[in-house]
Amino acid sequence: MGISMKISDLFKEKEVTLSFEVFPPKTDAGFEAVEKAASDIAALSPDFMSVTYGAGGGTSKNTARIAGDLQDRYNVPVLAHLTCVSSTRDLVRSVVNEYKERGIENIMALRGDIPKEGRICFDYDHATELIYDIKSIDDSFCIGGACYPEGHIECARQSEDIAHLKEKVDAGCDFLTTQMFFDNSTLYQFLYRIREKGIEVPVVPGIMPITNAKQVARSVALSGSTIPQKMKIMVDRFADEPDKMKEAGIIYACDQIIDLISNGVSHIHVYSMNKPDIAAGIMDNLRSIIR
């Protein structure tokens, strides 16, 4: 078995960390391509890698497989995601046990988006319930939770969202990772508000490099994140020149990351979207800062 490490311990050990994310294939036919992309990203030696989980169950069995392989073959600590909105308690138990058997020590505990066609299972309403369940199955995992610097899309008032976040952290989150945001002042305001409410766990900003114009509409639709004028202008200028757009998007993300680290927010997660070239671009710019 490869290196396994609790992310909470990693954060105590290292002042600055950089992690990348991959998502499993939608069908088994795409498995090899995703494994190749994941291994190329692992070769960049990030501090850890996260592997997302399909809320509808379509890609869920591959999360454990990809995460386990990353840890065993490439010695990268992993964070395996788990969503509950479409899961029975029995399914959650079996996935948690599988993570355990594979030596995975970190779980990102999520509700998942409510499926458009409606829910097929009602065992869980919120991520908080999942966290209690994981802890009752096995109390040894390091648990991450999601948070939303601009407020979660379903919650009309951010103060309510933060109150729910406090309940989630109290249920047993060891750290939080944020939804993407493109203006760091959004994060600094959010941090001020949650610290004031007694949420003290590490908050890991999730940075999404915007490297093609279509991503902007897609990201906004999925996350509700605000696109600042600075980014709109960049996309407008480079949208029709893919190589320049990619370079500009990587530099925009690095600029965000350097500002965060300069301000003491120093555990950074990059939504690298199965794209080794983009992960490499970020790493090349930051290597001496994060080592």
Ligand X SMILES: Cc1cc2nc3c(=O)[nH]c(=O)nc-3n(C[C@H](O)[C@H](O)[C@H](O)COP(=O)(O)OP(=O)(O)OC[C@H]3O[C@@H](n4cnc5c(N)ncnc54)[C@H](O)[C@@H]3O)c2cc1C
Residues labelled as active-site residues: 21
Q: CA triplet 85, 87, 89: central angle to 5 degrees?
A: 120
DSSP per-residue string spanning 192-244: HHHHHTT--S-EE-EE----SHHHHHHHHHHH-----HHHHHHHHHHTT-HHH
Tell me the window of 34-42, 107-115, 134-142, 277-285 that interacts with ligand X (CB under 6 A): 107-115
CA distance 260 to 267: 9
CA distance 175 to 203: 6
Interface map 53-72 toward ligand X (x if CB under 6 A): x-x-----------------
Which residue's CB is nearer to ligand X, number 20 or number 238? 20
Q: Which of the residues 76 through 95 are near ligand X (CB under 6 A)?
A: 81, 83
Single residue of 61, 100, 164, 166 touching ligand X by CB under 6 A: 164
Burial class, 164, CB count within 10 angstroms (exposed 0-12 / middle 13-18 / buried 19+):
middle
Task: State in angstroms the smallest separation of the CB of 108 from ligand X.
Answer: 6
101 C-beta neighbours (distance < 10 Å), count: 10
Burial class, 218, CB count within 10 angstroms (exposed 0-12 / middle 13-18 / buried 19+):
exposed
Q: Which of the residues 228 through 287 are near ligand X (CB under 6 A)?
A: none
69 C-beta neighbours (distance < 10 Å), count: 18
155 is an interface residue for ligand X by CB under 6 A: yes
Single residue of 62, 86, 128, 272 touching ligand X by CB under 6 A: 128
Single residue of 8, 17, 52, 219 touching ligand X by CB under 6 A: 52
- Both tokens assigned to 155: 């919650």
Task: State in angstroms the smallest separation of the CB of 57 from ligand X.
Answer: 10
154 is an interface residue for ligand X by CB under 6 A: yes
CA distance 282 to 209: 9
Q: What is the dihedral of CA 32, 37, 38, 39, to 10 degrees?
A: 90
126 is an interface residue for ligand X by CB under 6 A: yes
127 is an interface residue for ligand X by CB under 6 A: yes
| # chain residues binding ligand X, by CB under 6 A | 23
- Both tokens assigned to 138: 């096995």
Which residue's CB is nearer to ligand X, number 200 or number 240? 200
Q: Which of the residues 186 through 215 are near ligand X (CB under 6 A)?
A: 206
CA distance 81 to 178: 14
CA distance 176 to 205: 8
Which residue's CB is nearer to ligand X, number 111 or number 275? 111
Task: State in angstroms the smallest separation of the CB of 275 from ligand X.
Answer: 17
Which residue's CB is nearer to ligand X, number 83 or number 219? 83
Which residue's CB is nearer to ligand X, number 67 or number 245? 67
Interface residue list for ligand X (CB under 6 A): 52-53, 55, 81, 83, 108, 110-113, 126-128, 146, 152, 154-155, 161, 164, 168, 177, 179, 206
